[in-house]
Structure 1
Amino acid sequence: MNVFERLESNVRAYCRAYPAVFDKASNARQWDENGVEFIDFFAGAGVLNYGHNNERQRQAIIDYMQADGVTHSLDLHTTAKRTFIERFEDIILKPRNLEYKLQFTGPTGTNVVEAALKLARKVTGRSTVAAFTNGFHGMTLGALAVTGNAHYRNVSGVALNDVLRLPFEGYAGTGVGSLDMIRQTLADSSSGVEAPAAFLVETVQAEGGVNVAGKEWLQALQALAKEYGALFIIDDIQLGNGRTGHFFSWEDMGLDPDLVCLAKGIGGFGTPMGLLLIRPELDQWSPGDHTGTFRGQNLSFVAGSEALAYYENDDFLKSVQEKGRYMEERLNNIVANHKKLNFEVRGRGMMQGLDTHSPAIAKKIMAAAAKQRVIVGACGTDGRVIKACPPLTIEQETLERGLDLLEAAVNEGVTQ
């Protein structure tokens, strides 16, 4: 461990909660270099939706590399990219009657958001973007500007402007009524507030505390965007790729977003990929308007193409929905066992959060989780929410064991 302390930057964060040196991993399990097993309920913050070292994806990558497949290609055409595009169209877009152009950005979620913001401003000629309380969209300056977290924003060292910050559903009331003030302000020519280039929203704010927006609120927000000529952008970077029991988190809500941000799990194997879905009439880029060295991640195309096989029928998503219901039930049982603490469960599918309403208690639970050897994340205001998002492929037995360990960690944390 000394080499990390001695040479790695102080900026490292997750390893402080889990001070182990991990050596091997398979699906939802990891082992440190001493052979101690951990259950992974974090999945790389939603990157590893199909588990560590997914056998199908691993073999596809090995076969591709052994055949001398192109690994880096900027945005040159490759067979691996063509295969991914064709499979994405056939398996994801066509069955859902969706029509989007695909833009491969730099390989991180924040770069996808940057591209979306730039395109929205280019298309509308406006500069301001409407974003929401507790939203998280990335750490580069444009994406950071639309992120709510004060700590991350303050570290930037520069002004983060051109953002209209609005209350997410539940922040200042629930239901579509919470949007009435926004509509009234935009309709008033003396309000001093001009229509934004876009409304950028997560259907579930994963890093913001697993805050869930309702169908009616999202539909009303989309209608508001269209009413004022703004683009409706959904950041599906952490909640997409099957996490909610649907490939897109919004597809069962009657929504038709102009732009969709995908990353994390879209590469499938922990290999990075950023993908922006663009309504065809909005693809108003000129060549090279948004470029980057790593837009041609062919190993990600190979792994991602194999991941799409999970969506060729309904079986996989049905299993995600069933596991999500089981997770919610188990977490609600934990809440029932600690009624005096007023814990709360929120989430959709296999993204579930336990809101302790107390950063101090959450910190104790996180410490206990490390001892119990279940990997979870802390999120929300001051880290008060314990977030559980295991690989979607987790075996039922491992899921149950992980929830047993998490329950033990909660019991230990609240008694300290």
Structure 2
Amino acid sequence: MQEIYLDNAATTPMSPQVIDVMTREMKSDFGNASSTYELGRQARRAVDRARSQIAAAINAEDSEIVFTSGGSESNNTAIFGVAHSRQKIGKQIITTKIEHPSVLNPMRQLEREGYDVTYLDVDETGHISLTDLKNALTPETILVSIMAVNNEVGSINPLAEIGAIVADSNAYFHVDAVQGLGNIDLDVKEMQIDLLSTSAHKINGPKFLGFLYENKQITLPPLVLGGEQETKRRAGTENVPAIAGFGEAVSEIAAVDKAGLQAKYAHWQEMILQELNQAGVAYEINGGCGEHVSHHVLNLRINGVSTTILQANLDLAGFAVSGGSACTAGSLEPSHVLVACFGKDSPRVNESIRISFGRYNTDEEVAAFAQELSKIARKVQK
């Protein structure tokens, strides 16, 4: 049985070109990038080349890119770094109720340390109110942390508008762009973003690698202490093959027309919805699929069918989809994103699946999935 993978918001298959780059580096370049002899200098050149590729993709300077172990470390570095280095200015932080756990859990830790964290509400499409953000800002606000694209319902936040609002305050603007990089255009200068986190494995790169963009005007204390790698901002010997692969992955995705990619994903969403409509399946869309949404995510409630039953039946049929964020999939608690959008008593929180597309999926795969989803839904709903 062929497995059809539709959980790209959890992770993505590696690009063949990325694999080639990493394989070449592993075979020919084992030097430590901090060593001064030729093998070390060769490794350093590979790291610097990747850093330049990544900086160019978000309109940053090379020196503003810090390699980390992934989005979670980048988020933790930004949040704890700002909180602990700016607490003399104030101890108020603003975020949203639908952030990734690697943002929400550091926020809860900071609350235990005496910080005042404001969690902005979202509407049923997963969007915040800019008026709420303006009203929450005070002279003591030191950080606003808002994700670019939500990983469960695909809502896109208006980063440029948020950046302009935050720029008029004392706060720094941090963006978790793990789902944004590769799906929407990002320009840290135009959007007035001070800190931005990403992860390589969401854009067909290697796992356990990411970067943190730090505006050159900002100096944060390092989260990981040790050697003087990454200009003393992140200790640990650089994973040169993975970093080279990350640079290749970013270059590939930077060359892709984001509007065209979104149009392709929107077409796939429509294929699934048409199949459900023709089959008479009762369903609801969580988060919407119109404007201000990244169409790589389609979150559906199949009315009356539990997430567990639907996901298990799809898995047995050879289709990989998610019941929510892969980072919380092992939890018995319902999705915090759907709870924030619809309330904890809504049946949506226990009857929804997340379908997420990637650039290697095909029309044939999506059509096969739509037919199987309709077949299972009709059977169980009857």
Band the TM-score falls in, shorter-chain normalisation: 0.7 to 0.9
* 1:307 alignment counterpart: 249
Q: Percent identity of the aligned residues?
A: 12
* 1:183 alignment counterpart: 134
Q: Provide the C-alpha distance between the structure 2 equivalents of 1:262 and 1:388, rounded to a whole number of angstroms.
A: 21
Match of 1:401 among 333, 356, 368: 368
* 2:26 alignment counterpart: 65
Q: Provide the C-alpha distance between the structure 2 equivalents of 1:269 and 1:173, rounded to a whole number of angstroms.
A: 28
Query: 1:122 Cα shift?
Result: 4.9
* 2:117 alignment counterpart: 164
Find the residue that maps to 1:144 and give its secondary structure.
helix
Q: Provide the C-alpha distance between the structure 1 equivalents of 2:175 and 2:212, rounded to a whole number of angstroms.
A: 10
Query: 1:374 Cα shift?
Result: 0.6
Contact 2:78–2:220 (Cα < 8 Å) also in 1: no
Find the residue that maps to 1:37 and give its secondary structure.
coil
Contact 2:125–2:155 (Cα < 8 Å) also in 1: no
* 2:66 alignment counterpart: 103
Find the residue that maps to 1:281 and give its secondary structure.
coil
Q: Provide the C-alpha distance between the structure 2 equivalents of 1:359 and 1:134, rounded to a whole number of angstroms.
A: 25
Map of 1:340-355 to 2, 5 A cutoff? 340-344=282-286, 346=288, 348-355=293-300
Query: 1:185 Cα shift?
Result: 5.2
Match of 2:307 among 359, 362, 372: 362
Contact 1:108–1:273 (Cα < 8 Å) also in 2: yes
Find the residue that maps to 2:288 and give its secondary structure.
strand
- Residues 221, 299 of structure 1: alpha-carbon distance in 2 compared, 3 angstrom cutoff: same
Contact 2:283–2:301 (Cα < 8 Å) also in 1: yes
Map of 1:131-142 to 2, 5 A cutoff? 131-138=95-102
Q: Kindly provide the amino acid, as one letter, of the partner of residue 258 in structure 1.
A: D
- Residues 311, 184 of structure 1: alpha-carbon distance in 2 compared, 3 angstrom cutoff: closer
Query: TM-score of the superposition, structure 2-length normalised?
Result: 0.73
* 2:192 alignment counterpart: 256
Q: Provide the C-alpha distance between the structure 1 equivalents of 2:254 and 2:137, rounded to a whole number of angstroms.
A: 43
Find the residue that maps to 2:323 and give its secondary structure.
strand
Query: 1:102 Cα shift?
Result: 0.5
Q: Provide the C-alpha distance between the structure 2 equivalents of 1:267 and 1:185, rounded to a whole number of angstroms.
A: 34
Match of 2:318 among 373, 376, 381: 373
Contact 1:366–1:409 (Cα < 8 Å) also in 2: no
Query: 1:404 Cα shift?
Result: 3.5
Q: Provide the C-alpha distance between the structure 1 equivalents of 2:163 and 2:251, rounded to a whole number of angstroms.
A: 31
Residues 139-176 of structure 1, C-alpha deviation per residue, up to 9 Å, x if partnerless?
Answer: xxx751337xxxxx9xxxx958635232343169967x
* 1:212 alignment counterpart: 155
Residues 327-347 of structure 1, C-alpha deviation per residue, up to 9 Å, x if partnerless?
Answer: 221243256455754444635
* 1:28 alignment counterpart: none
* 1:12 alignment counterpart: none
- Residues 359, 200 of structure 1: alpha-carbon distance in 2 compared, 3 angstrom cutoff: farther
Map of 1:17-416 to 2, 5 A cutoff? 36-43=1-8, 45-48=9-12, 51-52=13-14, 54-70=15-31, 78-90=44-56, 92-93=57-58, 97-99=59-61, 101-105=64-68, 107-122=69-84, 124-125=86-87, 126-138=90-102, 144-146=105-107, 159=112, 162-170=115-123, 178-184=129-135, 186=137, 195-206=140-151, 209-210=152-153, 212-215=155-158, 218-240=159-181, 242=182, 244=183, 246-248=184-186, 251=187, 255-265=191-201, 268-285=204-221, 291-293=234-236, 296-311=238-253, 313-314=255-256, 317=258, 319-334=260-275, 336-337=277-278, 338=280, 340-344=282-286, 346=288, 348-356=293-301, 361-379=306-324, 380=335, 381=338, 382=349, 384-415=351-382
Find the residue that maps to 1:276 and give its secondary structure.
strand
Greater displacement, 369-378 / 394-403: 394-403
- The count of aligned residue pairs is 339
Contact 2:70–2:198 (Cα < 8 Å) also in 1: no
Q: Provide the C-alpha distance between the structure 2 equivalents of 1:299 and 1:79, rounded to a whole number of angstroms.
A: 12
Residues 332-371 of structure 1, C-alpha deviation per residue, up to 9 Å, x if partnerless?
Answer: 3256455754444635445222231869532322122112
Residues 214-267 of structure 1, C-alpha deviation per residue, up to 9 Å, x if partnerless?
Answer: 53xx45533332232111111011332x1x2x354xx59962211111114367
- Residues 38, 409 of structure 1: alpha-carbon distance in 2 compared, 3 angstrom cutoff: farther
Q: Provide the C-alpha distance between the structure 2 equivalents of 1:130 and 1:304, rounded to a whole number of angstroms.
A: 31
**RMSD between aligned alpha carbons?**
3.7
- Residues 89, 219 of structure 1: alpha-carbon distance in 2 compared, 3 angstrom cutoff: closer
Q: Kindly provide the amino acid, as one letter, of the partner of residue 55 in structure 1.
A: P
Find the residue that maps to 2:358 and give its secondary structure.
coil
Q: Provide the C-alpha distance between the structure 2 equivalents of 1:344 and 1:312, rounded to a whole number of angstroms.
A: 29
Contact 2:300–2:352 (Cα < 8 Å) also in 1: yes
Residues 112-135 of structure 1, C-alpha deviation per residue, up to 9 Å, x if partnerless?
Answer: 111111332255334442121122
Q: Kindly provide the amino acid, as one letter, of the partner of residue 299 in structure 1.
A: P
Query: TM-score of the superposition, structure 1-length normalised?
Result: 0.68
Contact 1:346–1:352 (Cα < 8 Å) also in 2: no
Q: Provide the C-alpha distance between the structure 1 equivalents of 2:202 and 2:285, rounded to a whole number of angstroms.
A: 33
- Residues 168, 335 of structure 1: alpha-carbon distance in 2 compared, 3 angstrom cutoff: farther
- Residues 185, 280 of structure 1: alpha-carbon distance in 2 compared, 3 angstrom cutoff: closer
Q: Provide the C-alpha distance between the structure 2 equivalents of 1:264 and 1:389, rounded to a whole number of angstroms.
A: 17
* 2:342 alignment counterpart: none
Contact 1:110–1:143 (Cα < 8 Å) also in 2: no
- Residues 146, 127 of structure 1: alpha-carbon distance in 2 compared, 3 angstrom cutoff: same
